Chains A and B, each alone.
Chain A
């Protein structure tokens, strides 16, 4: 897994990098606002449960959320693998298995939870 299919992992990395560049800034901004904007009752004004559920209830929302989370995980796993190799960590095979393993588990979990919503 670590040595073969570099094209596969690179394509996921490249797709994830592009997608996160477009999508992550605004999502992170919304999360940040939600985390800050707690009124005294502790419930933020945005990112309410009904809103999130509504967003993820339809198939378009599910697909978008699945693609974003999964590709971002594969992007991060691959880039971190390259980065750690650059930092001098020579256990490349182990880093690859752990990183890609997390991305794979995350991908499956995302699909599992999204289907339930």
Chain B
């Protein structure tokens, strides 16, 4: 009889560094989801008018607990962006003539667009 080795269904991702990184990447979704809910909350607050927006949304963000959560969320969101751009060339390779465009060029183009877009948004938001 052939022998089947047991596989842990709950701790496998700790066995290999690459598995662990993968699991961390998957769990960034928790913070992506939380921030999406925050945006939804903000939209609802804007729809409810001036007073509600400040009282039930913007001022809530300034509490110490919320600030900590926002910091963590922001860091995870940046990590998600970098991890996502890193693997995009694998999912969408571009062939020019015979050769493939190097993955670094595709990822680099993403970074350029990302930075320019972010600067434009920061400008219009009045940050600078």
Given a CB threshold of 8 Å, the question of whether A touches B is answered with yes
Report A8-54 residues with CB < 8 Å from chain B CB.
14, 16-18, 20-36, 38, 42-47, 49, 51-53
- Which residues of B does A touch, CB under 8 Å? 9-13, 23, 26-30, 32-33, 35-40, 42-44, 46-47, 50, 53-54, 58-59, 61-62, 66-67, 70-71, 73-74, 77-78, 80-81, 84-85, 88, 91, 110, 113-114, 117-118, 121-122, 125-127
Instruction: Identify the closest chain A residue to B118 (Cβ).
Output: A26
Contacts of B122 in A (CB 8 A): 26, 29-30
Q: Interface 1/0s, chain A 105-117, versus B by CB < 8 A?
A: 0100110011011
- Tell me what chain B mostly uses at the interface: helix, strand, loop, or mixed: helix
- Tell me what chain A mostly uses at the interface: helix, strand, loop, or mixed: helix
Say whether B54 contacts A43, CB under 8 Å. Answer: yes
Contacts of B78 in A (CB 8 A): 25, 28
- Which residues of A does B touch, CB under 8 Å? 14, 16-18, 20-36, 38, 42-47, 49, 51-53, 56, 65, 68-69, 72-73, 75-80, 82-83, 86-88, 90, 106, 109-110, 113-114, 116-117
Contacts of B54 in A (CB 8 A): 43, 49
Contacts of B59 in A (CB 8 A): 42
Report the minimum CB–CB distance from A115 to chain B (whole Å): 9
